Amino acid sequence: MKKYRPYYFILLLLIIFMGIMSRKTDLIPLYIGDFLYAVMMYVFIRTLLIEKKSIQIMITSLLICYAIEFSQLYQAIWINELRNTLAGRYTLGQGFLWSDILAYTLGISLTFMIERMLLKHKF
């Protein structure tokens, strides 16, 4: 699996670029950015934990995305100021939406299935 790490990293950079570009135009629905954020999280976790099983990567990615989304219900001044920065907005988001949870679930699930089909990972 370690031989795939550079490919995952390149894929990660491409997904980050596509996600940022999806926010720069009104032609692409907002949920596509959330979908790509979830795909990016899966690929990022996979890059870091290359030897882990796909199911572990999927669960970890989902938990991180869900935690970030639910953290948006917390509205302390310090975290809102952080969210008002470019990095904070891209990393932590702006406001809780159930549609984001759905986009994360679909993005990570689809990435998990594609990875399993392409690389024949075992659970």
**Residue 19: how many CB atoms within 10 A of its CB?**
19
Collect all residues with Cβ–Cβ distance below 8 Å to 120 and sequence separation of at least 6: none
State the average pLDDT for the chain.
Answer: 92
Q: pLDDT of 42-93, one tens digit each?
A: 999 999 999 999 999 999 999 999 999 999 999 999 999 999 998 998 889 8
Q: What is the pTM of this model?
A: 0.87
Q: How far apart, in whole angstroms, are the C-alpha atoms of residue 68 and residue 76?
A: 15
Q: How far apart, in whole angstroms, are the C-alpha atoms of residue 81 and residue 100?
A: 21
